[in-house]
């Protein structure tokens, strides 16, 4: 983990900061231009599309990064063929999904729009399935600059189109246009980053991808269920308008652990995979140093949000988004153990195991479902959010038990962070 890692980390952090700033500004602008119930409606579409993405994810990108054959053209082309097929299948599935979701949420105003909205937004899966594997090849060698420029540029174009449309016509079509424009730009741009792909079928390459990705498939399925179960339930409790408010708090608090996961996937995973392939004896020390650089700034940012979340929401968002303030403070606290987990999560994949992360995500799903159920029973909508907070805290000891088995638990870093965070948060809420 030398200069390439540092340069890659700098690009990832810079790109993520720019992307979050664009996303944050776009979200604020949309809340002033478009009705909350429409924002919540498009939000539930994205939740289910993310589920389709994850349920069909067999680890094409990670396989190219981790496998020793990842540099071979036939391997990449076979992986691309699988990716294209996946995108087409996802899009076809959106046609029956739209009416199904309209029926599930029929009690909510505007649910009938889901019939056409889901397959329309679902075209992004078809388009995204065509993006080049050059992205993964560059990531394999930690050449992050072109990837970051492409992602931020595509996001800028998509947001600009969406906001201009929303200004002229504040409707669902404005939200759809921005999403599709982003995906078209990103897919076309990816083919300018390296060797073009073509349809190909190498049986041994396909077997290698599916063998590595079989547990990734289940892991991503459980990841979607564990991370989205709250969004699936919220419309039945708070309607689509309440979901929009809830998502604002998640957007802001989730930016920090999302950055940690992005660094883990884009930087730590390929770097640690290289150390594992070389059987480097300094694996643990280098992981500890990388985690320290990731965790400390993230925790400081989360503590800041736990202190000033309500003031931030009041200053930037319309009055009907006021409730996002207290939600943000709680979500920022819950994200502290998430950051610790994210900083070591991809070490398991680098070691070649995708089964264990799948089990851990299944455990998280069970804990969140139990927390939400009990929380709603005792405290209604507020209780659901408190239950989610407790579930996130309870998931950390489960992770630690696995880390100890694989030699990844580093208490000299984790315990002081948790203790310091608990003291700071306790002092904040006490005052």
* List of residues 6+ apart from 205 with CB closer than 8 A: 69, 72, 74, 75, 78, 79
Give the whole-angstrom CA distance, residue 408 versus residue 29: 43
Exposed/middle/buried for residue 143 (C-beta within 10 Å: 0-12, 13-18, 19+): middle
Q: What is the pLDDT of residue 218?
A: 65
- Cα atoms in the Cβ-side hemisphere of radius 13 Å centred on 361: 23
- Cα atoms in the Cβ-side hemisphere of radius 13 Å centred on 205: 19
* List of residues 6+ apart from 216 with CB closer than 8 A: 57, 58, 59, 62, 354, 358
Give the whole-angstrom CA distance, residue 395 versus residue 381: 22
Give the whole-angstrom CA distance, residue 249 versus residue 230: 13
- Per-residue pLDDT for the chain (431 aa), expressed as one digit of tens each? 556 666 766 777 777 778 878 988 888 898 888 888 888 888 888 777 777 766 656 667 767 766 667 677 888 888 888 888 888 888 998 899 889 888 988 877 788 888 999 899 889 888 988 888 888 888 777 787 888 899 999 999 999 999 999 999 988 899 899 989 999 999 999 888 877 888 888 887 777 777 666 666 666 667 777 777 777 777 777 677 777 888 888 888 888 888 888 777 777 777 777 787 777 778 878 888 888 888 888 888 898 888 888 888 888 888 888 888 888 888 888 888 888 888 888 787 777 776 777 788 888 888 988 988 898 888 887 788 888 888 888 888 998 888 888 888 888 888 888 887 777 667 655 65
Q: What is the pLDDT of residue 95?
A: 92
Residues in the chain: 431
- H or E stretch including 21? helix 3-33
Q: Which two tokens stand for residue 132?
A: 């080049």
Handedness of CA 186, 188, 194, 198 (dihedral sign): positive
Give the whole-angstrom CA distance, residue 326 versus residue 97: 34
CB-based contact 339:393 (threshold 8 Å)? no
Q: Which two tokens stand for residue 333?
A: 């606290």
Report H helices in 264-323. 269-277, 283-316
CB-based contact 417:340 (threshold 8 Å)? yes
CB-based contact 220:55 (threshold 8 Å)? yes
Displacement of CA 96 from its chain's centroid (Å): 25
Give the whole-angstrom CA distance, residue 219 versus residue 323: 33
**Residue from 4, 346, 283 nearest 142 by CA:** 4
Q: Which two tokens stand for residue 214?
A: 């079989």
Give the whole-angstrom CA distance, residue 207 versus residue 254: 35
Q: Which two tokens stand for residue 30?
A: 């949309």
CB-based contact 194:134 (threshold 8 Å)? yes
Q: What separation in angstroms does the CA of 202 have from each of 161, 209, 216?
A: 40, 11, 21
Q: To which residue do tokens 């299944």 refer?
A: 362
Give the whole-angstrom CA distance, residue 294 versus residue 267: 11
Q: What is the pLDDT of residue 177?
A: 92
3-state secondary structure 323-334: CHHHHHHHHHHH
Q: What is the pLDDT of residue 160?
A: 94
Q: Which two tokens stand for residue 429?
A: 């809420």
Q: What separation in angstroms does the CA of 279 have from each of 4, 24, 276, 351?
A: 19, 42, 5, 10
Q: What is the pLDDT of residue 180?
A: 92
Give the whole-angstrom CA distance, residue 312 versus residue 150: 30
Q: What is the pLDDT of residue 240?
A: 75
User: Torsion angle of alpha carbons 378, 382, 383, 388, nearest 10°?
Assistant: 170
Give the whole-angstrom CA distance, residue 260 versus residue 2: 19
Q: What is the pLDDT of residue 216?
A: 64
């Amino acid at each position: 983990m030398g200069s390439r890692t540092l340069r890659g980390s700098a690009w990832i952090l810079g790109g993520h900061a720019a992307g979050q700033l664009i996303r944050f500004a776009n979200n604020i602008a949309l809340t002033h231009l478009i009705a909350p119930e429409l924002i919540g409606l498009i939000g539930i579409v994205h939740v289910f599309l993310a589920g389709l993405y994850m349920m069909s994810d067999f680890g094409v990108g990670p396989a190219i990064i981790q496998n020793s054959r990842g540099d071979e053209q036939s391997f990449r082309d076979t992986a691309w063929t699988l990716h294209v097929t996946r995108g087409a299948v996802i899009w076809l599935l959106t046609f029956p999904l739209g009416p199904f979701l309209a029926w599930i949420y029929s009690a909510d105003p505007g649910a009938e729009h889901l019939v056409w909205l889901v397959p329309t937004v679902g075209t992004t899966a078809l388009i995204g399935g065509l993006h080049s594997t050059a992205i993964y090849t560059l990531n394999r060698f930690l050449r992050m600059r072109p990837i970051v420029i492409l992602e931020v540029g595509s996001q800028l174009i998509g947001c600009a189109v969406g906001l201009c449309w929303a200004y002229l016509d504040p409707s669902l079509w404005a939200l759809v246009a921005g999403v599709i424009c982003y995906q078209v730009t990103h897919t076309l741009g990816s083919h300018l980053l390296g060797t073009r792909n073509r349809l190909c079928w190498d049986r041994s390459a396909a077997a290698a991808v599916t063998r590595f990705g079989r547990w990734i498939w289940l892991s991503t399925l459980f990841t979607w269920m564990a991370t989205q179960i709250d969004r699936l339930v919220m419309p039945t409790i708070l309607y689509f308008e309440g979901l929009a408010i809830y998502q604002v708090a998640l957007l802001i608090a989730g930016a920090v652990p999302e950055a940690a996961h992005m660094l883990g996937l884009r930087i730590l995973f390929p770097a640690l995979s290289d150390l594992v392939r070389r059987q480097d004896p300094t694996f643990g020390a280098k992981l500890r140093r990388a985690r320290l650089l990731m965790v400390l700034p993230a925790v400081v940012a989360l503590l800041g949000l736990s202190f000033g979340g309500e003031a931030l929401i009041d200053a930037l968002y319309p009055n009907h988004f006021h409730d996002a303030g207290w939600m943000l403070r709680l979500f920022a606290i819950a994200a502290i153990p998430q950051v610790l987990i994210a900083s070591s999560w991809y070490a398991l994949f680098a070691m070649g195991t995708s089964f264990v992360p799948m089990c851990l995500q299944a455990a998280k799903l069970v804990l969140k479902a139990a927390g939400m159920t009990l929380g709603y029973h005792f405290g209604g909508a507020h209780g659901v959010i408190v239950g989610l907070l407790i579930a996130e805290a309870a998931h950390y000891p489960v992770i630690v038990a696995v880390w100890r088995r694989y030699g990844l638990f580093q208490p000299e870093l984790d315990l002081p962070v948790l203790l310091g965070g608990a003291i700071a948060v306790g002092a904040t809420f006490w005052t």
